[in-house]
């Protein structure tokens, strides 16, 4: 597990991101945050489509690089 930093946000919107890479990135984001929260924005039981919103604050004491991209 690596510490998440601002440079990693760009990887979430890659068109070919695998579920494994998304899982690793989201887990690192949550573990590197001070007060992470999640909200289920929408859920369609017929299609299985969902939308969630993650919100939090990165812990700059634990992230190794806070440079913005």
Q: How confident is the model at residue 3, as a pLDDT?
A: 77
Q: Domain residue spans in the chain?
A: 6-55
The pTM assigned to this predicted structure is 0.74
pLDDT at 66 over 80: no
- For position 59, what pLDDT does the model report? 85
6's CB contacts (< 8 A; 6+ apart) are 58, 65, 66, 67, 68, 69
Nearest to 60 by CA among 26, 33, 25: 33
pLDDT of residue 68: 45
Q: Which residue has the tokens 């929408």?
A: 42
Does 20 or 62 have the greater pLDDT score? Answer: 20
Instruction: Dump pLDDT digits (tens) for 5-55.
Output: 788 888 888 888 889 988 998 999 999 899 999 999 999 999 999 999 999
């Amino acid at each position: 597990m690596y510490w998440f930093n601002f440079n990693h946000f760009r990887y979430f919107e890659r068109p070919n991101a695998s579920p494994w890479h998304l899982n690793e990135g989201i887990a690192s984001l949550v573990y590197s945050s001070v007060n992470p929260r999640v909200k289920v924005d929408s859920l369609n039981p017929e299609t299985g489509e969902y939308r969630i919103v993650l919100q939090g604050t990165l812990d700059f004491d634990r992230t190794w690089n806070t440079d913005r991209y």
